[in-house]
A and B are shown apart, each in its own frame.
Chain A
Amino acid sequence: MLAMDQGVVEEWLSEYKTLPDNAVSNYAASLKDKGALVPALYKVIRENYSDLLEPVCHQLFEFYRSGEPRLQRFTLQFLPELLWSLLSASSARDPHTSGCIEALLLGIYNLEIVDKDGQSKVLSFTVPSLSKPSVYHEPSTIGSLALTEGALSNHGLSRVVYSGPHLQRETFTAQNRFDVLTFLLLCYNAALSFMTPSSLQSLCQLSSRVCICGYPRQQLRRYKGISSRLTVTSEFLVQLITGIHYALCNGEVDVGSKALDDVLYRAQLELFPEALLVGNAIKSSLHSAALKSNNKEGPRSIQVEITPTASRISRNAVTSLSIRGHRWKRHDAVDLGSPDELMEISELDEGVWPGLAAPSDAAPPTITISNSFTTPSLGARAMKKCRLGGRTSKDKEAGPAPGGRAASESAELSVKRLTLTSSQSVPKAGALSSLTRTASAVFSRSFEASSAPVPNHHHHHHLLHQAGSDAGAQDAGRYSCSLQEEGLGYLSPGRNHTPLSTSISVHLGSDL
């Protein structure tokens, strides 16, 4: 270490100590003008045996503790270098040299896991859901695609996930080391935009070394530091990848892509799905971005071009959007007259409505609803099928041998099936509710026919009942499902007609 560097560091050490409290802010702003300081500090950290290491670590901790964001970021920029010092020392089983670095890192960790009042911090993250309106969308325009069973169970709820509270740590042990380091990387990643290029390079270097030391690839990279393997965890690698990703997109293309390759190499050897997942995604997304723009202008690789707004997909190609209308048309063509087919349909429906087969007690029913633009009568059709299923079993009941256990079972079965009531907004409500067995095949069509030209804004509104042990009389375990469609003026088979807004609401509740 050069005497000049030493001088710079010593000056830095003494200057902060004599600083009055009200000058801290100005001091923090002036730090970036001290050009020779940061490289000198890197040298101190790299040379483990330097006498300056301990006071430097101490002062970096003081910076962090000051609470002044610029001072905290000044400390954070050395985090990758400090992590590497710690990891390489611990692999060499040389506990003395890394003592003050350990203390600094634990100090930062213990500061970060509590808030200003010293209470344990709980980080929260709201998982956005398309079923809830946001500043960028309206659930009804998203249509049905997101309406899976999972989406339904979270319908209208925004899920919040928490991290923490975290335990205070007094020492590093093999068990907690990566918990602490992963958390520290998380803090570092939260301040990535403020990190200098040299810090990002140091992060990439750390990632490469941690991942390849002791493996054959070490020769490829010509790194001759330590040669023993370092343990890693998948979460630690994921955090490293997050930082590498930022570095890659903000000027550090060469070291960044090397580091990403090395992390992926290690993740493959360790069979870590999480790190592989995120690493592959970054690689593939950067690959496609690189294909698009070969010109590299400026340090940031964030580039935006004017893109054509018209769909680039030709109109006659079958897409998931267009096929839906298609499928429903074909269903309409099914001849509902033959009882065999009715049986088939009802069997099919067992799969679609798993809630039906289950005993109607507290178990929440799982209902899968798919909706499509061109088929506002979906609810009716699904219910029709259920109804038909019920009918066929009743037919059997009325057949040759009523009585005995089988009959009572099938009676119970039919009771458990859905019964349909339609609400007042359908003009022919009376006709619907008085549907007889023989009419049920015709029912769907008459229903559609009657609902199509309705001019009001709520065109139809069905209520689906699943009665409990006693159909209708008891309301135990009742689930209602209502389906509302707007803009039925579009109801026609033409492809270009789509309802303006489609809203589906499903209420699951068991009134006991």
Chain B
Amino acid sequence: MTARKSGSRLETEIERCRSECQWDKIPELVRQLSAKLISNDDLGELLLAECKLQTYLKENPIKQGASPRGPRPKLVEVRKHLTAALDRGNLKSDYLQEASLLMAKLCYVEGEYRDALGHYGRVSLDELQLAGAPVYRLSIIAESYATKGLCLEKVPTASPLLSNNNTGSPALSNRTACERDQEIITCYEKSGDIALLYLQEVEKVCVSGIQNRSPKPGPVAPDQELGYFLETGLQRAHVIHFKNGNLTRGVGRFREILRAVETRTTQNLRMTIARQLAEILLRGMCEQSYWSPMEDPPTVSPLDDPSQQGHTHSNKTYSLSRRPRIYSGENLFCPQENTEEALLLLLISESMANRDAVLSRIPEHNNDRIISLQSASVVYDLLTIALGRRGQYEMLSECLERAMKFAFEEFHLWYQLALSLMAAGKSARAVKVLKECIRLKPNDPTIPLLAVKLCIGPLHWLDEGECFAKMVVDMGEKAAEFRAKGYLAIGLVYSLKATDASLRGTQEEYQRKALGAFQRAQSLSPTDHLASFYLALQLAVSRQIPEALAYVRQALQLQGDDVHSLHLLALLLSAQKHYHDALNIIEMALSEYPENFNLLYTKVKLETLCRGPEEALLTCKHMLEIWKSFYNLTNPSDSGRGSSLLDRAIADRRQLNAMTLPDFSDPDTGSVHATSIAASRVEQALSEVASSLQSSAPKQGPLHPWMTLAQIWLHAAEVYVGMCKPAEATACTQEAANLFPTSHNVLYMRGQVAELRGNVDEAKRWYEEALSISPTHVKTMQRLGLILQQLQRYSLSEKVLRDAVQVNSTAHDVWNSLGEVLQAQGNAAAATECFLAALELEASSPVLPFTIIPRAL
């Protein structure tokens, strides 16, 4: 460029000020210029006109959607300058073009659209050079395209062109309108592209400018602000696309803008556009109508309004000699699916929204806070939608955690965080956050109920659970439909507390309370099968078998295929010694839930009793097969951390399994027992150490598949013990031991095998080891008691058995053993009592404890 080459310092300075929009400095520079070059007054006119026009627009910005307001007195001077420069025509051609373009812009500002178009017609915008042009000129060109588009939109379609052939058919005029639309859009698209290029260039200049002046940073250019024209140029094209119902091209335009390398000035625009594109991807697209940013859009898409189909030109209809830089490089991540792209865009948008979080709480910043909160919560809601679809709750909880800086007293954000933590399995934190939610919205019964669900489920925080459940119950009528649920929750808490209690008195007290709560729940919500079911379960635990049967039948009437009700029915029948009926029920249940291990364990027990151990062994084998088909099918990523969570979006088999798996370590006490939790933690820790020593154990991945497998082996071992086959029993136990060498169940089984072999001392040693890991394992205590009795250490035996009865007062074989010990000690009266108790309990004893059925909200 000639102007550039002659480049005195002054001209460079002028160019810099124009590029950086420092209009206030121009008059001074013009003065210096005219002092130096007397002949070049016209350039001065141009510069003054420009700076006055720009300053005017800065002081009286045009609002989006508002039309310019006709001639303004302040602009008279501008017109004077420009007319002077243009009339004399002494300017170099570049400057002459600039003057014309400025004139056109002035015409637009004054509402003279046709005049403006006339000026644009003379300059022929498309031939202006982009390569090598000074930065400010890029801005002028971009603004000109935008202004031209605006003028074309304003001038009615009945242009001179059309008025000539007024007789033309409507189809023809329609086609012309179409072409005109296209022309308008192209103007805006070009304007947007050049605007992006200009912003990139201007930033480059700023940076180099600052580096030249370092280390002491000089006065820095104020933050660039896009004026009305550039803003319009960047955004109007896609607005028109969407207004026309042309989603395909709108999305394409969004992507073009977003792929251009970001500048500081475009950050806010990018944040908005990224969010809008994500919205469209999530709300208006699906996997089948999606095309990736690197692909060509489909020629016919259901996304486009069919009535506008004629308008669509899916390919770009223009080319520019220079385009904005776009993100490039090797291994760029390019989304392949609409949710992926939405997620990427939202993460980008989030990082920006997050940066703008207004932290100060002073009242003056109230508005700013609301703005920053709003823009962020829109992004977080969309993130939730996208991640929820793909089941990525762990990632979601991390994202929402970042939203917490906005969350002071904002219920929605707190609640969403709590729910995401819950869905991600971070129960303890979820409960803490739920507490805050309750504080913010004390009248919503759902929140404390969610907390109870976690407290009695994965956390086993029964005292906290009781508090939360009481909140719901105390709401009374206000809790409406949730009132029954509240009673159910508190009943479950008491029921679990009863199982945990070590003193018989407290146990009975809690059982009574639980029963009362369940009855209340059942009467409040007679159509809820869960209320009837838990009432039945609680009655069963307190050995009121006939009453329990009545309620479980009621539950089954309400929900015929509920697995837990069917299981309870079978156990109740087994307690009445109707083993065949029980087995039939189990088999029926298994036809609906063929892969439910809990039912299968019961089946093994029942088969041993009804059909002999061979059948039971076949069931064990079947269980192993199921296990294999389950966990072999899972894909390779399963072994890693946090993987395969997509499965959760599409119903996770294992999760289902986890719910029906009573307690991962203890087949005896179904629902989690406080001490058995401790035991299983010890077990887990020890097993991890042990298995790190022996590398053969296949132990990556989630734990409970392996626990299920160990349980299957232990059940098989038990069957073999019943058949007096110590070798096979040992082999099975060994399989379980390979997985969990220090499980008390494994040790207990080893003790049984040793007993079978007649090695009393060895058995005693195993039992003692088992008890050192799980001191309240009743079965082990019973066996140990018996052995001690055989060894004639009566008082110790009595002590162990009495402890066992304390833990579980309904274990009839313990009572029986206790009776034998007392008898051997010569305490016939007490022994009789024990035998009677044993007899009575045995009459109502199921094949497996009722508590094997999980209790959860």
- Mark A residues whose CB is within 8 Å of B: 69, 93, 122-123, 125-130, 132-138, 141-143, 145-146, 148, 150, 158-167, 173-175, 178-179, 182-183, 186, 189-194, 214-216, 228-229, 231, 233, 235-236, 238-239, 242, 245-246, 249-250, 268-269, 271, 273-274, 276-278, 280-282, 284-285, 288, 298, 300-314, 317-321, 323, 452-453, 487, 489-490, 492, 494, 496-497, 500
Contact = CB atoms under 8 A, between A and B. Distances in A.
B181 to A, nearest CB: 17
Given A162-B644, A269-B481, A313-B372, 7 more contacts: A133-B332, A136-B258, A141-B262, A145-B402, A161-B644, A216-B481, A320-B405
A497 B217 contact: yes
Contacts of A134: 327, 332-335, 344
Given A277-B388, A281-B385, A497-B220, A303 B344 contact: no
B416 A281 contact: yes
Given A161-B644, A235-B648, A489-B215, A133 B329 contact: yes
A442 B35 CA distance: 55
A191 B389 contact: no
Given A249-B284, A489-B215, A276 B419 contact: yes
Contacts of A143: 351, 355
A135 B261 contact: no
Contacts of B378: 285, 288
Nearest to A189: B286
Contact of A174 (B280, B371, B593): B593
Nearest to B244: A298
Contacts of A231: 559, 561-562
Contacts of B678: none
Contacts, number: 350
A512 B351 CA distance: 37
A128 B423 contact: no
Interface in B359-395: 359-360, 365, 367-369, 371-372, 374, 377-378, 380-382, 384-385, 388-393, 395
B446 interface: yes
Given A312-B371, A496-B220, A319 B358 contact: yes
Nearest to B405: A320
B656 interface: yes
B262 A137 contact: yes
Interface stretch (B82-90, B234-242, B512-520, B764-772): B234-242
B778 interface: no
Interface residues of B, number: 147
B205 interface: no
Q: Which of B365, B385, B560, B645 has the most CB of A within 10 A?
A: B385
B492 interface: no
B207 A160 contact: no
B327 A182 contact: no
B637 A161 contact: yes
Contacts of B285: 193
Contacts of A130: 347-348, 351
A303 B337 contact: no
B269 interface: yes
Contacts of B64: 305-306, 308
Contact of A319 (B211, B357, B629, B642): B357
Interface string B268-308: 11001010100110111111110001100000011101000
Interface in B416-447: 416, 419-420, 422-423, 446
Interface string B244-265: 0101001000000011011001
The 7 closest A-B pairs by CB, nearest first: A281-B384, A193-B289, A278-B388, A128-B344, A190-B287, A249-B283, A174-B592
Contact of A194 (B288, B596, B633, B644): B288
A265 to B, nearest CB: 9
Nearest to B258: A136
A320 B357 contact: yes
A136 B256 CA distance: 9
A133 B262 CA distance: 13
B340 A126 contact: yes
Contact of B303 (A193, A278, A304, A497): A193
Contacts of B294: 135
Nearest to B384: A281
A152 B50 CA distance: 50
B547 to A, nearest CB: 24
Contacts of B351: 130, 142-143, 145-146
